[in-house]
Structures are given as C-alpha cells and as structure tokens.
Amino acid sequence: MAEALKMDEARKRYEFKKTLEKLESQEGDGTELITLYIPPDKQIYDVTGQLKDEYGQCANIKSKQTRTNVQSAISSILSRLKYYKKSPEHGMAVFCGTIKLYGDRTDLQCTIIEPPEPLNLYMYRCSSKFELDPLKQMLEEKSIYGLIVLDRREAYWGFLRGNRIEPIGGATSTVPGKQRKGGQSAARFGRLREIAINEFYTKVGERASAIFLAEKDFFERFKGVLIGGPSPTKEEFEAGGYLNHEIQKRIIGLFDVAYTNEDGLPELVDAAKDALSGMEVIKEKAIMDRFLKELVKDNGLAAYGEESIRKNLELGAVDILLLSSNLRKSRLKIKCQSCDYVDKRTVSIETGKTTKDIELGNCPKCTAPLVLEEETDIVDELTKFADQSSAKVELISDDFEEGSILFSAFGGIAAILRYRTGY
C-alpha cells in the first residue's frame, strides 16, 4: 500500500490507538479471550508448544461453551503462527477469542499486532477482556520536558508530555518583602533576605530535580527543562546551579512569564514556542492557533464541518486540512442490490459496533435493499482526497486545549483555505 509508506508518526499513532480502543471495547462471555505476547527473542515453537498444552488443559473447563470457544481460539492462533518462522523485530501481540457483538451475535476474531516498540514480556492469558496495558504504555509520550516557573515568593513545576501539560506541585517561600520592619538594620535585613532566597531556591531546585529524575527512562526521554519567571529571578536561579547537575545541564532556556503558580506552566510553554519548534505539540498548536486566528478575522479562510470541507477539497481550495485524532467515523460506499443507484455516507462507529450493525435502508429509486460496497476510515478517505489537490494534512491530537476544541466545536474536521470560496 503506497499510502502506508507516507504515514507519519502522528498517523501511525492514530492507527495504533484506534486498534487498542477497539480491542479494549471487546468482551467475551466467559474467560475465553486469549492474550498472547511474544517477545522478539522467543522461539515460535516454544509458543506453539505451550499453546498445545493449554489446549489439552481446556478439558478442565466446566462450561462447554467456554471450553469450545477457548479451543477454537487456540486453534486459530496456532494456524496463524504457522506463517511465522520467528518472532518479528519487535515481537508480536495476539488477541483472539469469541467476541460478543451488538445484539446476541458473537464472532471469533483474531488480531495480530506488531508493536511500534519491542515487547519485553512473554504472556499467555485467558480472560473475559484482552490484556492491553503493555501496549498502552507504548502510547505514552516519548519526549518529556520539565517545566519550572518561579519568583522569590513562589514556584511551581510540572511536565510537558507531548501536548499535555501536567502540573505537579509548588512551593512558597518565607522570604520577607522588601520593606524591613522598624529597628532592623538595613545590612542585617538584606543578609537575612539573601539567606531566605537562597534557601527557597535550594528547596525548589531539590524538589523539582527529584520529580524530574524519578521519571521513568529519564535519560532517554527527558529532553530538557524550561524555566520561566520574572527577571532577575530566573537568571539568578539558573546561575546559582540549584538544580541537580543532570537537570541543570539540560536547561533549554529562560523565558519571561507573569504567573509563577500553576497558571504559569501553559504561559511558559507558550513563551518557549520557538525553542520547542521541532516538537509535534508546538507544530499542532501553531496550526490550531492559525486556524482560530483566521476564524476570528472572518475572512473566509477558515472552514469547518465535513460538508464544507468536502466542497473546498473538491475545489482544490484547501491549504491545510485539520483532522482530529479523536475522529471515529467511516465513509461508506453504498449501492443498490438491483439497480445502478449508489450513495456515500459518513457514519460514526460506536464502541462495540461495526458497520454491519448499521441499517442501510432501501433504494430510493427501486426500493430494493441497499448494500455496503466499501468502508473507509474517514481520516484515510479525507487524506486521500486532500492528496489529490496537494493539500497538507495535519492530524491534531486532543490532549491540549485547542486540539480538543477542534473536536468538540468543529466536529473534528476543519481547514485553512488558500482562497475564500464561500463554502
């Protein structure tokens, strides 16, 4: 598939996440869904050996239905494993079992995933749900940044994980204000104040460093720290070397922000935009900012809603197509069973349902039943459509404010146009 080669990171993530969501929604009647994780270095014949043992032990399962379903699942996995001489580069995850479908129907389904990262565990489990945690962990953001905002009175720290700002905690100081009390000598007051400031910076440095260093896979994932605050506090804090040396050497920059409480964290990320420009989050945020700006200008260059976007794509007017990674819709090609009537429809896929559960109705021309000819994920379909007019496509995640607005307020489909079209 040619498109697959062009798939960027955001896209692969979207596909992977969607597959996991689908598996997560699936349930078996009894403990009859099999999860099998095979690491890259595991011999396939060891796995088939264990599966054959498990098959034999099914005789102990009391419920006849469960026993039959587990045996069918194991047979199905065994027949699929025949195609593998060895475990793939990152290993494989197999999910197989009799799934409860909408209504009273059930279906034996097998999904094999070659994960984006190496699997480091071997697992065979039979349960009423699939075990997905090891794969879900791979969806966690790979790059993280530390955030600190501070002045002499208060400080706050947290993480930037992908698009998401995670506030962690803060501290306030006992540094006295600039006004000394009567009777205190200026020199003594100044000295006490310096000591208190130093203590506060030390506390902030230690606590923030401890939080950052405790992060899983720190050395691979922790890309740097951003420090915000008024001048000269942040400069003082940097120059004093209050952070652990591993954190200190990862300081990306100092940025002016007005707030030094939790509200300062988004302000800091905003101020650091240029320094972070290579990051996906900033790219997505910048595109959403541009869209919202065009929308406010009301100049006809911001379009949204599926119908409007399709019109604009047809005209070749779309410069950037914005699609929410939260979209769970399919584009259906429908045709009449007996005449030449064809139609296209967009439908939402509810959790646990498939397009088989959608009532297609009858042909408006000859009243014969309509049948499904083709189903395409709407992101795939619109991307293909956009490629034809060389529009750029951006998949926007919903874990930052503007990204979630794309989904909630604009239906997850929007565009910045090359020229105004009136659609």
- 188: exposed, middle or buried (C-beta count within 10 Å: 0-12, 13-18, 19+)? exposed
CB of 359 to Zn ion, least distance (A): 16
Spell out where 140-289 has E strands.
144-150, 154-161, 164-172, 222-229, 251-256
Both tokens assigned to 283: 């790219």
CB of 375 to Zn ion, least distance (A): 20
CB of 366 to Zn ion, least distance (A): 3
CA distances from 46 to 43, 53, 122, 247 (A): 5, 11, 11, 45
Q: Which residues bind Zn ion (CB under 5 A)?
A: 336, 339, 341, 363, 365-366, 368
Do residues 27 and 128 touch, judged by C-beta distance below 8 A? yes
Element holding 248 (H helix, E strand):
helix 245-248
Both tokens assigned to 52: 């054959």
Closest by CA to 29, choosing from 89, 97, 92, is 97
Q: How many CA atoms lie within 13 A of 83 on its CB side?
A: 6
Task: Tell me whether residue 335 or residue 392 sits nearer to Zn ion (CB atom).
Answer: 335
Task: Tell me whether residue 120 or residue 337 sits nearer to Zn ion (CB atom).
Answer: 337
CB of 365 to Zn ion, least distance (A): 4
Task: Tell me whether residue 366 or residue 409 sits nearer to Zn ion (CB atom).
Answer: 366
CB of 337 to Zn ion, least distance (A): 7
Placement of tokens 């230690």 in the chain: 206
Task: Tell me whether residue 120 or residue 338 sits nearer to Zn ion (CB atom).
Answer: 338
Give the pairing of strands 33-38 and 123-127. antiparallel
Task: Tell me whether residue 65 or residue 362 sits nearer to Zn ion (CB atom).
Answer: 362
Task: Tell me whether residue 93 or residue 336 sits nearer to Zn ion (CB atom).
Answer: 336
Q: Is the backbone peptide bond immediately before 232 cis, with ω within 30 degrees of 0? A: yes
